[in-house]
Amino acid sequence: MKQSLQLKLGQQLTMTPQLQQAIRLLQLSSMELELEVQQVLDSNMMLEPDDEEEREILDFNAEGVAAKSTENSEGTDYDGTGDGAGDAPEELGVPTAEDIPEDLPVDSDWDEIFDNTLSASGPAGAQDDASGEFDNVRGSSGSLREHLLWQVNLLQLTDVDRAIAIAIVDAINDHGYLEASLDEIREAVNAAEELHEAVELDEVAAVLKQIQALEPAGVGGRDLKEVLLLQFRQLAADTPDLAIAYRVCEDYLDALGAREYAMIMRRLKIDQETLKRVIALIQKLNPRPGSQYGDEPAEYLVPDVFVRKLRGRWKVELNPDAVPHVRINPYYASMIRRADNSAGNSSLKTHLQEAKWFIKSLQSRSETLLKVATAIVERQKAFLEHGEEAMKPLVLHDIAEALGMHESTISRVTSRKYMHTPRGIFELKYYFSSHVSTSMGGEASSTAIRAVIRKLIAAEHNDKPLSDSKIATILSKQGINVARRTVAKYREAMQIPPSNERKRLA
């Protein structure tokens, strides 16, 4: 085999560490970016927060001190000469070396410095108020199980009944429903507790009644009917239409869910107005009594972009609070020596280069985000002006082609980034949607179609709700060609029930 040399030309994209870092920062949300910046600040000595407000305050204080110093030197004459040259340090309030003792007191008693009013030995009233405030905060965010156990501890129960009560509480799910049967609870208590006598079924039922009388109302019910009836039992006896509403929930709850209003009025011998009041009373009840308790923290959205209308034009700005500001520490940068190849100097150079790359990646992320947001706003001005019904079809390829970027880059930029507009806060991906052809040869956004469907359903008659076929017919008359299956898909995506479940009394 003869060996030969060949020259080939080709293009290859190499993922350098700098490019990998820029891509990773691009897809981070504002909260994740804040954590990432903090980690880099902790690991790279060359980086420090660039707090412009703090620097302005320091500069202002420095200018104030300089101005005050100049005023004192040109103003009051302390020694009678008028030039301030003979001003004594004592007279200016500046301590001299003779005023400072050699041995400074460093062994001061802690009680002499710190007021121990919030300690365990402090005033009882202040301690009780503070603890009560924190108890209220914890109670509002505690779990349903903790809230029930706290009430169980206040009940006067025997050891056996307390064991049964704890077993019942453990069998209640997060919505407040009892998931285990009385037999299962009895067997669990008998297996866990070393009792002289086995627990009977009527004992478990008696303790369950005590649990069902706790807060929140309706807790411990085994199905929707029992949950609602438990809440009715805790209402005032003089509540209007209470007896009829109790009867409807007890005997006709399935018929009420199926909107069989005529049958209910005929069986109970009531008129339509009375049934309306009964339904309104039932709707005030909570079908999930345990939903108000939970340990899940609230999630807050931080907008990355602000959109405002100024002088008839839409202006796009980055949120300054969501953009991290870092800079290179000038002190550590000045310690680098060019000709020094020692390990310490090489480490400083490495940290400096990494700091420059990181700052450049942050700037690139902000510029790309602003470009993409501006391009989206330019194409969705109709939405900002008129709402969802004016949303235009838009896909990632449209923005990528307009900005000369790859679709994957646009996808990273629009993921978990939020835009604050006069109509609310929306994720950037919200502005992208598929399209449906119109009879005029144009295109309609799926978001706009959903808005039209929601508007039609909101304006329908209570006793004659629109079916999916009827909605498709109305949209076709408006020039939007959609099938009944498409309408059903959009309706289900908006969590709107079908027409037979939307029927209400006129």
User: Token pair of 74, please?
Assistant: 């040109």
266/272 Cα distance (integer angstroms): 10
User: How does DSSP assign 406-427, residue by residue?
Assistant: -HHHHHHHHTT-EEEETTEEEE
User: Token pair of 160, please?
Assistant: 């056996």
- pTM of model > 0.85: no
- pLDDT tens for residues 234-273? 999 899 999 999 999 999 999 888 888 889 999 999 999 9
Give the 3-state secondary structure of residue 215: coil
- pLDDT value at 159 more than 60: yes
pLDDT band at 278 (very low <50, low <70, confident <90, very high): very high
pLDDT score recorded for residue 15:
66
CB distance 206 to 251 below 8 Å = no
Mean pLDDT in residue range 384-388: 91
- pLDDT value at 101 more than 50: no
414/371 Cα distance (integer angstroms): 11
User: How many Cβ atoms are within 10 Å of 472's Cβ, its own excluded?
Assistant: 21
pLDDT score recorded for residue 355:
92
CB distance 36 to 323 below 8 Å = no
CB distance 419 to 428 below 8 Å = yes
Domains and CATH numbers, the chain: 144-292 (no CATH), 435-501 (1.10.10.60)
Top-confidence residue, 212 or 52: 212
* Stretch among 130-134, 206-210, 312-316, 376-380 having the lowest mean pLDDT: 130-134
User: How does DSSP assign 178-225, residue by residue?
Assistant: B-S-HHHHHHHHHHHS--SSPPPHHHHHHHHHHHHTSSSTTTTBSSHH
Q: What is the share, in percent, of the chain residues with pLDDT greater than 70?
A: 78
CB distance 46 to 329 below 8 Å = yes
Mean pLDDT score of the chain? 80
